Amino acid sequence: MRQPSVVVALVVGALLAGCGHSAEAARGAYLRTVAQRGVEAHDQLRSQGAGIDPTHCSQVYATLSRDHGLPSYNSGTASLGWHQQVEATFVDSCVAGQPLESLVGGEVW
């Protein structure tokens, strides 16, 4: 009788691991999109002759709809870190003029 319960445990474990992986993949894809938008902001600021620095890039980010399509990341401090990582990715990419994924809270997505 232990054999079926071991199989069930393995299947449930695989499903749970797959769920975490798909959420992680969604966050990674979102960061790549945000980084590309930061590069586009860099190009737009440059074409307008505006300064390209963290302050200007943060102002551009603030004018965007921040949470539109933003994949969730649990709640509480982990969620706050995720939101900070999204903003930092945009700003860093905007300043650099190339896609960058920022490190916030010790984790990269």
More confident residue, 26 or 103: 26
Neighbours of 87 (CB within 10 A): 20
pLDDT of 35 strictly over 80 = yes
Task: Give the least confident one: 15-24, 40-49, 69-78, 87-96.
Answer: 15-24
Terminal C-alpha separation, the chain: 41
Q: In the predicted model, what is the mean pLDDT of residues 22-45?
A: 89
In the chain, pLDDT over 70 holds for what percent of residues? 61
